[in-house]
Amino acid sequence: MSSKEKEILKIDGDKSSTQFDIIAIEEPLQITISGAFIKNKTGQQNIAVTMRTPGADQELAVGFLYGEGILTAKDQIRNVIFGENRLELELSHSSIDVASLQRNFYTTSSCGVCGKASIEAIAINKTIPTPTQKLQLDSDVIVSLPAKAAASQKLFHSTGGIHAASIFDLNGKILLQHEDVGRHNALDKVIGASCLENLLPLDAHILLLSGRASFELIQKAVMAGIQIVVAIGAPSSLAVELAEEYDVTLIGFLKEQSFNIYNGAHRIIAKPT
């Protein structure tokens, strides 16, 4: 269940009334991995606790582990064990010495895993896909994306308090979308679903973010091979720097007829003025 009904008191000027509102659910999810490569007594390691909207928990966990470089392919997953607000992925192996990372993350819906740990995930991971396609995207396609994404955001329409990450092809056709109270969770779910469907790397696709573009979201996009990231809101300085380092086209403040290109303008075909 992703939402629930709540009785509220609505104030409108000098009038008040009891009404019912639909609110998005936020609950913790503990992500654990297990496997022979984990050198401790239990053969398990807790990786993260994230506050998320329940639903697509497997995709969320897979996407998170992929973004951290712990999981690099679908065939590494041997088993998935579901529990109440818990999910364990049994892996055949990992490309990273998990124990050496000594990381027990606590992530929130507003921030995610921020700072040094995420920066090091890029630096130490050797499987980041290197995009080979030289993409060209018409500006008309870009401005068409928000309306298409909004039409699919059922949870946002009912609650007004949810983020979305959407994957489009280069013609502007929406291929995949997930919603969550956390911006980073929504993207993890999209990347996890892409991993489970053997679609990675997403080097010939467009990522649309429903809010601002933070460092961590660009980090996850880089790990998935995404070359074009479009955000409804603003990018942060670290997001721009990371986009510059990995040659990601980063667009922000997307509106009906306008947007700002912060990096990678060579991929965008603008209308003649």
- Report pLDDT digits (tens) over 55-105: 999 999 999 999 888 898 999 999 999 999 999 999 998 877 665 555 445
Active site residue 111: yes
All residues at 6 or more sequence positions from 63 whose CB lies less than 8 Å from its CB, including other chains: 187, 188, 189, 190, 191, 192, 193, 194, 195, 220
CATH T-level assignment (fold) for domain 137-269: Cytidine Deaminase; domain 2 (3.40.140)
Give 19-43 pLDDT, tens digit per residue: 888 888 889 999 999 998 888 888 8
Contact assessment for residue 154 and residue 26, using Cβ atoms and an 8 Å cutoff: no
Residue 95 has a pLDDT of 72
pLDDT band at 272 (very low <50, low <70, confident <90, very high): low
8 A C-beta contact, residue 144 and residue 137:
no
Residue 152 pLDDT: 84
Q: What is the pTM of this model?
A: 0.87
CA distance 218 to 246: 10
Q: Which of 25-39, 102-116, 119-133 has the highest mean pLDDT?
A: 25-39
Domain boundaries, the chain: 27-124, 137-269
Task: Please say whether the beta carbons of 44 and 34 come within 8 A.
Answer: yes
Q: Which of 249, 191, 234 is nearest to 72 (CA)?
A: 191
Q: What is the pLDDT of residues 154-186, one digit of tens each?
A: 766 567 678 999 999 999 999 999 999 889 999
Give the pLDDT mean for 113-134: 55
Residues in the chain: 273
Catalytic-labelled residue, pool 38, 49, 101, 111:
111
Look at residue 19 in the predicted model and tell me its pLDDT. Answer: 86
In angstroms, the CA 155 to CA 44 distance is: 34
Cβ neighbours of residue 249 under 8 Å, at least 6 residues apart? 135, 137, 227, 228, 229, 243, 261, 263, 264, 265, 266, 267, 268
Architecture of the domain delimited by 27-124: Roll (3.10)
d(CA 40, CA 10): 54
Question: What's the rounded Cα separation, in Å, for the pair 164 and 222?
Answer: 18
Window from 10-19, 141-150, 204-213, 230-239 with minimum mean pLDDT: 10-19
